Amino acid sequence: MDQLKRVVLLSGQESYLIDWSIRMLVDRYVNPACKDFDFIKFNGLTASFEEIRNCCETLPMFSERKIVVVEKLKCLEAESEDEKKWSAYFKEIPDFSLMILVNESVDGRRKITKIINEIGKTYEFNQLPEEFLKKFISKQLKLRGKTAKSQVISDFIADSGYYDKNTNYTLYNLDNDLTKVVAHATGDEILKDDVNQTLSGNIERDIFAMMDNLGRGNKGSAFQMLSHLFLYGENEYKILGLICSQFETVTMIKEMQEEGKSFSEISTNLGLNPYRIKILHGLSEKYTLSHLKTILGDAYRVDRRIKTGMLDKNLALELFIADI
């Protein structure tokens, strides 16, 4: 940190990591007693260039450096009339000030971005790779006085949907869910049941967990999860639709398996959470392709029978799960 220059650019979708980085810098350079004076935040969409510059030019009170955070600076993403002024000023910021620019997206081709790279430092914080996410979870659990086996952490990641395609689920959401899991656990070790109980309420996660139980041959647990969905008042058509969607994915996996595609190729083609692909991949190995197509056909028939009143909705779904 001592080598940091006068401008730092933090970008990416993981605001949790961006906020953590800012806290680390504030703890390093700012005297806690002078935080109100030596740690200033601006909204780059509303604050003027002159206002921010004047703040940077003011000496810190009793801190090693003054930290000025500017969020959403327009000229980092698109053309702006202030771009030339900012490009020139970045080179003139006093040594006693540290400007932290925060933008979710940045156009790396822009001249201003290249100038920041030359005179300062840029960091991009996006989705954590699997290895680092597991370490993050283990550390957060340890800070809360808990532990969890590797498989339970993997199950938590899968159930959370962190790696789902086009997901808005971030580390902030994940950390909140960890807090719920820890609150639910009665012992020092987090168990799979703690994960199942605290991540309920998201029907897509619950349906996936039910599919996981079916894949492991735990029909009793699958029925229990179905009963919980009924108890929560979930719509039967939505439940059946999500089950169909999962089996359609399993069928696609089976077809690609038979075409000789590798696990990584299947995962890339489907663009889904690798953990979910792994579980559905295992489920696909329990069925032949023709059996999977039969299951899908049965699901579509169940849908028609429910809509025509031939079968009670709950009973129809229970019979369908029993026949899988």
Architecture of domain 7-124: 3-Layer(aba) Sandwich (3.40)
Q: What is the mean pLDDT of residues 2-17?
A: 87
Task: State residue 165's pLDDT score.
Answer: 66
Q: What is the mean pLDDT of residues 43-47?
A: 91
Q: Is the Cα dihedral 218, 295, 207, 16 positive or negative?
A: positive
Residue of higher predicted confidence among 136 and 267:
136
Task: State residue 251's pLDDT score.
Answer: 93
What is the C-alpha to C-alpha distance for residues 220 and 226, in angstroms, rounded to an integer? Answer: 10
What is the C-alpha to C-alpha distance for residues 250 and 258, in angstroms, rounded to an integer? Answer: 12
pTM: 0.67
Please give the CATH topology (third level) of the domain spanning 132-323. Zinc Finger, Delta Prime; domain 3 (1.20.272)
Q: By the 8 A CB rule, do 247 and 302 touch?
A: no
**Both tokens assigned to 163:** 């790696």
- Would the pLDDT of 306 be above 90? no
In the chain, % of residues over pLDDT 90? 45
Task: Determine how many CB atoms are found less than 10 A away from the CB of residue 89.
Answer: 16
- Would the pLDDT of 93 be above 60? yes
What is the C-alpha to C-alpha distance for residues 166 and 185, in angstroms, rounded to an integer? Answer: 31
What is the C-alpha to C-alpha distance for residues 317 and 303, in angstroms, rounded to an integer? Answer: 9
Q: What is the mean pLDDT of residues 241-260?
A: 90
Note the pLDDT tens digit of each residue in 162-207: 887 656 789 998 998 899 899 989 999 999 888 877 875 567 777 8
pLDDT band for 3, please (50, 70, 90 cuts). Answer: low
**Both tokens assigned to 231:** 């108890």
Q: What is the mean pLDDT of residues 143-172?
A: 86
Q: By the 8 A CB rule, do 322 and 219 touch?
A: yes
Task: State residue 101's pLDDT score.
Answer: 96
**Both tokens assigned to 144:** 């809360």
Task: State residue 196's pLDDT score.
Answer: 78
CA dihedral in degrees (32, 35, 37, 40; nearest 10)? 150
Note the pLDDT tens digit of each residue in 256-285: 989 998 888 888 888 776 767 777 887 888
Number of H helices, E strands in the chain: 16, 7
pLDDT band for 229, please (50, 70, 90 cuts). Answer: confident
Contacts of 159 (CB under 8 A, 6+ apart): 195, 196, 199, 205, 208, 209
Q: What is the mean pLDDT of residues 140-144?
A: 96
Q: What is the mean pLDDT of residues 111-136?
A: 92
In the chain, % of residues over pLDDT 70? 96
Winning range, highest mean pLDDT, from 1-10, 184-193, 217-226: 184-193
pLDDT band for 64, please (50, 70, 90 cuts). Answer: very high
- Would the pLDDT of 313 be above 90? no
Q: Of the given ranges (67-71, 200-204, 235-239, 305-309), which has the lowest mean pLDDT?
A: 200-204
How do the domains of the chain map onto residue ranges?
7-124, 132-323
Task: State residue 11's pLDDT score.
Answer: 94
pLDDT band for 34, please (50, 70, 90 cuts). Answer: very high
Task: State residue 303's pLDDT score.
Answer: 83
Q: By the 8 A CB rule, do 134 and 157 touch?
A: yes
Chain-centre distance of CA 134, in angstroms? 13
- Average pLDDT over the chain, rounded to an integer: 87
- Would the pLDDT of 1 be above 50? no
E strand segments, 3-95: 7-11, 39-43, 66-71
